[in-house]
Amino acid sequence: MSYLREMILKHGQVFPNNVLKVDSFLNHQIDPIVIEEIEKEFYKYFGDRSITKVLTIESSGIAPALLVAHHLGVPMLFAKKAEPSTLAKEDKYVTSVHSYTKNVTSNVLISKEYLSANDKVLIIDDFLANGQAALGLVDLVEQAGGETVGVGICIEKSFQPGRQYLEAKGVDVFSICRIQSLENGKVTFLNE
């Protein structure tokens, strides 16, 4: 059993509406051993794809994305949720993303300076549920004319449609932990 699975079983908390809280080791407080394991898994799966950028959305995807980018020797870029005053309207790519956990839709953006048609992009995120964050990032890459070489997910809720939406767009999805169910407050992993 992977260390990430062990941490989910030991410290993950299941909340109503299929919410899994992993704040103590992944997306509030970060366990460096978990992030190191995640980075190794993503590199093993995606490392041979001539990636030029690793892309995530602020903020929970930043830690794993940064380590993967470091291992690949490429920049890590994150989509911002707030528009900086230093970025002109015409100098950015923008897309809307709905957060399942927060139940809010917001615009996220990337400066055109950092994403181009020459980029082969690996998208990394902490969770995949309904796929809206990942689809939004794919949209930003498409706006730039770049290529999404894959989406790496730390924890996938396989009982929600995110993977199907991404695969329908022809995107290769690799998830380190795939959850089959959060019923009755218990985490059950998908056996692959």
User: Above 70 in pLDDT, residue 165?
Assistant: yes
27 marked ligand binding residue = yes
Q: What's the structural domain count of the chain?
A: 1
On the 0-12 / 13-18 / 19+ scale of CB atoms within 10 A, 104 is exposed
20 marked ligand binding residue = yes
Domain region containing 135: 3-189
User: Above 90 in pLDDT, residue 85?
Assistant: no
Task: Name the residue with higher pLDDT: 146 or 88.
Answer: 146
144 marked ligand binding residue = no
Q: Chain-wide mean pLDDT for the chain?
A: 94
CATH number of residue 154's parent domain: 3.40.50.2020
130 marked ligand binding residue = yes
69 marked ligand binding residue = no
**How high is the pLDDT of residue 104?**
85
With a pLDDT cut of 90, the percent of the chain lying above it is 85
User: Above 80 in pLDDT, residue 52?
Assistant: yes
* Confidence category of residue 54, pLDDT binned at 50, 70, 90: very high
Q: What is the mean pLDDT of residues 70-81?
A: 96
**How high is the pLDDT of residue 192?**
56
**How high is the pLDDT of residue 79?**
96
Q: What is the mean pLDDT of residues 79-105?
A: 83
Model pLDDT for residues 114-128, shown as the tens digit of each residue: 999 999 999 999 999
131 marked ligand binding residue = yes
**How high is the pLDDT of residue 87?**
73
pTM (2 d.p.): 0.95
Q: What is the mean pLDDT of residues 90-95?
A: 91
Q: What is the mean pLDDT of residues 53-76?
A: 96
